[in-house]
């Protein structure tokens, strides 16, 4: 399983014509394997000690993957960037769903039509950064209340930590 993600990651990196490094493969494979967007910290935690990839490398590789459009980053209201691998079927015009209870962020590939706002004359859209907030399927069924108050205090705690 893990091997397949590595193979896919390596192929994707090869298409850029840039150097294929172990760190690039490991980090892209980690994004491909994840079922939601990951923060720098999540990625560090998921990389094995043995990979020898340090924090600085994680930042650098994520920047590179974003530049190459192999990954895209999503801004959270907690001011933490989250990263997701971009599969070939995804366009830059897609929205995200953030769960208020478990903080999971997923890509919504099928935006349908009508969510893209009409822009003033002469404006050129490059990317749509739209996040829908609510409860994911797991949290909806587990009966967690929309944690509005909780999310707010959590955000304060998060910024205090930084
Ligand atoms: Zn959830
Ligand atoms: Zn996305």
Helix axis angle for 2-15 and 22-33, nearest 10°, is 120
Q: For 77-114, what is each residue's pLDDT tens digit?
A: 778 899 999 876 656 567 888 999 998 888 887 666 55
- Quick one: which ligand is closest to 146's CA? 1
Quote the domain boundaries for residue 64: 2-161
Cα(34) to ligand 1 centroid in Å equals 15
Q: For 18-62, what is each residue's pLDDT tens digit?
A: 999 999 999 999 999 998 999 999 999 999 887 889 999 999 999
| pLDDT greater than 70 at residue 134 | yes
Q: How far is CA 103 from CA 20, 36, 64, 96, 155, in A?
A: 32, 10, 25, 12, 11
Cα(38) to ligand 1 centroid in Å equals 14
Cα(147) to ligand 1 centroid in Å equals 11
Map residue 103 onto helix, strand or coil: coil
**pTM, to two decimals:** 0.71
Q: Does residue 30 contact residue 61 with C-beta atoms inside 8 Å?
A: no
Residue 42 sits in a domain whose CATH number is 1.10.10.10
- Quick one: which ligand is closest to 147's CA? 1
Closest by Cα among 106, 108, 99 to 83: 106
With 0-12 CB in 10 A as exposed, 13-18 as middle and 19+ as buried, what is 106? middle
- Quick one: which ligand is closest to 98's CA? 1
Domain total in the chain: 1
What are 30's two structure tokens? 């980690």
Neighbour-count burial for 123-152, b at 16+ CB within 10 Å, e otherwise: eeeeeeeeeeeebbeebeeeebeebeeebe
What are 82's two structure tokens? 């989250």
Map residue 27 onto helix, strand or coil: helix
């Amino acid at each position: 399983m893990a091997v397949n993600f590595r193979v896919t990651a390596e192929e994707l990196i090869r298409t850029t014509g840039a150097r294929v490094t172990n760190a690039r493969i490991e980090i892209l494979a980690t994004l491909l394997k994840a079922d939601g967007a990951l923060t720098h910290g999540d990625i560090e935690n998921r990389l094995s000690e043995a990979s020898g990839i340090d924090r600085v490398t994680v930042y650098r590789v994520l920047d590179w993957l974003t530049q190459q459009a192999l990954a895209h980053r999503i801004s959270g209201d907690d001011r933490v960037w989250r990263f997701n691998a971009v599969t070939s079927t995804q366009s830059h015009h897609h929205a995200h769903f953030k769960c208020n209870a478990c903080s999971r962020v997923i890509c919504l590939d099928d935006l349908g039509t009508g969510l893209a706002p009409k822009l003033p004359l002469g404006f050129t859209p490059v990317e749509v950064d739209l996040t829908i907030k609510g409860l994911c399927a797991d949290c909806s069924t587990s009966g967690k209340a929309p944690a509005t108050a909780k999310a707010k205090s959590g955000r304060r705690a998060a910024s205090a930590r930084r």
